[in-house]
Copies of this chain bind each other. A is one copy, B any other.
Amino acid sequence: MKLYSRQHLENSMDYAKAVQMLETGFIAFSQGQVQVPGVQNFNFAQANGDCCVKSAYISGEDCFTVKVSTGFYDNPGKGLDSNNGLMLVLSALTGQPLALLQDEGWLTCLRTALAGQIVASRLAPSEVQCIGILGTGMQARMQLQHLLAVTDCRQVLVWGRRPAELERYRAFAEQLGCQVETTLDAKDVPGKANLIVTTTPSRTALLRSEWIRPGTHITAVGADAPGKQELEPALLARADRLFVDAIEQCSRYGESAHALSAGLIDRGKLLELGQLLSGKVEGRSNDRQITVADLTGVAVQDAQIARCALACCQAV
């Protein structure tokens, strides 16, 4: 079994290849060609931590993936990152372990960010006036970094709760060549930005429907577990097109689940990203439409980013 460190994985990654493999994965998932056993969840109440185990196999491929992700929210006080994790790649031909990717959660961040890029490449309005980011953490940075590959816009407006975090984000985004404004009022973001990504662990809506201007696209990636929420449910009802990564999962949690349980939308409104990518359903049809993507994260992304990472490591 090969072992690869986070540093090795970061240095070897081919982002274009990863995007292509993630798109293939979303399409296979929506076509029912992926074995995705139920997620295993642990809760470590005494340590303010949790863990999930996500596994997936795309039919016909020669390997499958088991991912372990942890979040321990008191870690920063101990000088440790909150998130950690690793991925195991095993042979689907012999069952032998092939590789341990000790990515410390980086591959999960990356596959989530690249899903944001994939969505934006299909659903962003033709002219992006300003990129809006809610949140200032690792995912907020990676989303911006990978959005820049699919838009010429370099205007960024970022919202956060703490000025010091906003200033750190500004420095990061300026290094990427962006002109950055910051705000403590989330309402400012949709006033300027028409391509918005929400990346927070919020448990209440941060963006209200009435704030959103026609033509805006919003990708929400923060609500990856029950109880989390970033968008007012009325916004999902108002959206002209509502895409999700997995209809079944997004009916249980994520933004869509809130709108469904409030009776504001029905399940028929949920369109799957894989259907968009395969051309089975249409995306945005004009620059007045509001589009929303609700991404909760599916194990097929882990399987594909792991396969990509392994191929990249073996190629160098």
> Which interface residue of A40, A88, A100 has the most chain B CB atoms within 10 A?
A40
A1-25 toward B: CB 8 Å interface, digit per residue (1/0)? 1010000000000000000000000
Contacts of A94 in B (CB 8 A): 47, 49, 72, 75, 78, 80, 84
Contacts of A41 in B (CB 8 A): 37
Asked whether A95 lies within 8 Å of B57 as measured between CB atoms, the reply is no
**Smallest CB–CB gap between A224 and chain B, Å?**
16
**Smallest CB–CB gap between A149 and chain B, Å?**
31
Counting CB contacts under 8 A, is A108 at the interface?
no
| Known A72-B94, A94-B80, A97-B102; contact A53-B66, beta-carbon cutoff 8 A | yes
Asked whether B53 lies within 8 Å of A40 as measured between CB atoms, the reply is yes
Asked whether B42 lies within 8 Å of A55 as measured between CB atoms, the reply is yes
Docked CA distance A107–B80 (Å): 31
Task: Bin the interface of chain A by size.
Answer: 35 or more
Copies of this chain, count: 2
Contacts of A55 in B (CB 8 A): 40, 42, 53
Counting CB contacts under 8 A, is A51 at the interface?
yes
Asked whether A53 lies within 8 Å of B53 as measured between CB atoms, the reply is yes
Asked whether B102 lies within 8 Å of A1 as measured between CB atoms, the reply is yes
Docked CA distance A235–B42 (Å): 38
Counting CB contacts under 8 A, is A90 at the interface?
yes
**Smallest CB–CB gap between A102 and chain B, Å?**
7
Counting CB contacts under 8 A, is A64 at the interface?
yes
Docked CA distance A92–B68 (Å): 13
Docked CA distance A96–B81 (Å): 10
Contacts of A80 in B (CB 8 A): 94, 96
**Smallest CB–CB gap between A47 and chain B, Å?**
5
A67-92 toward B: CB 8 Å interface, digit per residue (1/0)? 01011100100101001111010101
**Smallest CB–CB gap between A171 and chain B, Å?**
28
Question: Residues of A with Cβ closer than 8 Å to B?
Answer: 1, 3, 35, 37-38, 40-44, 46-47, 49, 51, 53, 55, 57, 60, 64, 66, 68, 70-72, 75, 78, 80, 83-86, 88, 90, 92-97, 100, 102
A to B CB contacts below 8 Å, 21 in the list: A1-B102, A37-B42, A38-B38, A38-B40, A40-B55, A40-B66, A42-B55, A44-B92, A46-B60, A49-B92, A51-B64, A51-B95, A53-B55, A53-B66, A66-B66, A66-B68, A71-B95, A72-B95, A84-B94, A84-B97, A97-B102
Q: 3 closest pairs, A vs B, by CB?
A: A70-B95, A37-B40, A72-B95
